[in-house]
Amino acid sequence: MTKLSVNINKIALVRNARGGNRPDVVQAALDIERFGADGITVHPRPDGRHIRHDDVRTLKKVLTCELNIEGNPVGAFVDLVMEVRPAQVTLVPDAPDALTSSAGWNTVANRDFLTDITARFHERGIRVSIFVDPVPAMVAGARACGADRVELYTEAFARCYPAGPEAAVAPYVAAAEEARRQGLGLNAGHDLSLENLRYYLQRIPWTDEVSIGHALICDALYYGLENTVQLYRREMRAEHD
């Protein structure tokens, strides 16, 4: 069964808009875990506009589900991951001022860098996933870097899905098949939602984990957080029924 990791950055963004501790990000993560999520994802950025380093440290202490830290592996981010030792780190090539993730790694051009940083994280017992576009060569490149998994960047799938699901998912199926050939674990994330999640997993049922944040938190404004987590779990279970 594919696991659901909920990205809580947007909860932190609301908190930071007013200062103080409302909503309580750590309590929200514990509640999401209790509501049925398999993991919590955070993406600390250099400007601290949502998840902060102290949040990450506290989450590691209190969560019993998997913690996934994603971000560009440079400077303070690397230090934080090495200190906290999450279950998984997802390497994302974001610029410091990026609004959101917008592309995967070129794992061929950046092979030396990614190989070195992957080895460092492996020394701390951390599973490494590399964020890639749905291109088989980039998937194979991640394996050459020593990664344990790839996370397929699903923005293009979500954007093209309404016009033609089969065409939208086709590159992802090819990339996912390459991951399986390479012996890599397989994650997916970015703009997956209640509208497209079931179809994606029906076509790629060997997906190990999906990371969902923005759409899930938006849905929670209407449906409530507990109900929304359950709605996503139901879509994921439906693929196996």
Q: Provide the β-strand partners of residue 234.
A: none
Task: Assess whether 70 carries a catalytic annotation.
Answer: yes
- Helix or strand holding residue 75 (H, E): helix 75-84
User: Angle at Cα 1 formed by Cα 7 and Cα 73, nearest 5°?
Assistant: 35
For 38, 39, 74, 118, 206, the CA distances from 209, given in Å and listed in that order, are: 9, 9, 25, 20, 9
Task: Assess whether 53 carries a catalytic annotation.
Answer: no
- Structure token digits, residue 171: 């590159």
Burial class (CB in 10 A: 0-12, 13-18, 19+), 95: exposed
Task: Assess whether 43 carries a catalytic annotation.
Answer: yes
Exactly one of 66, 190, 235, 239 is catalytic; name it.
190
Quickly list DSSP for 143-169.
HHTT-SEEEEE-HHHHHHTTT-HHHHH
Exactly one of 33, 43, 50, 239 is catalytic; name it.
43
Max distance between CA atoms of the chain, in angstroms, equals 48
- Structure token digits, residue 130: 């590399």
- Helix or strand holding residue 88 (H, E): strand 88-91
Exactly one of 70, 151, 178, 235 is catalytic; name it.
70
Q: Provide the β-strand partners of residue 68.
A: 41, 88
Helix, strand, coil % (nearest 5) of the chain?
A: 50, 15, 35
Q: Which residues are catalytic?
A: 43, 70, 190
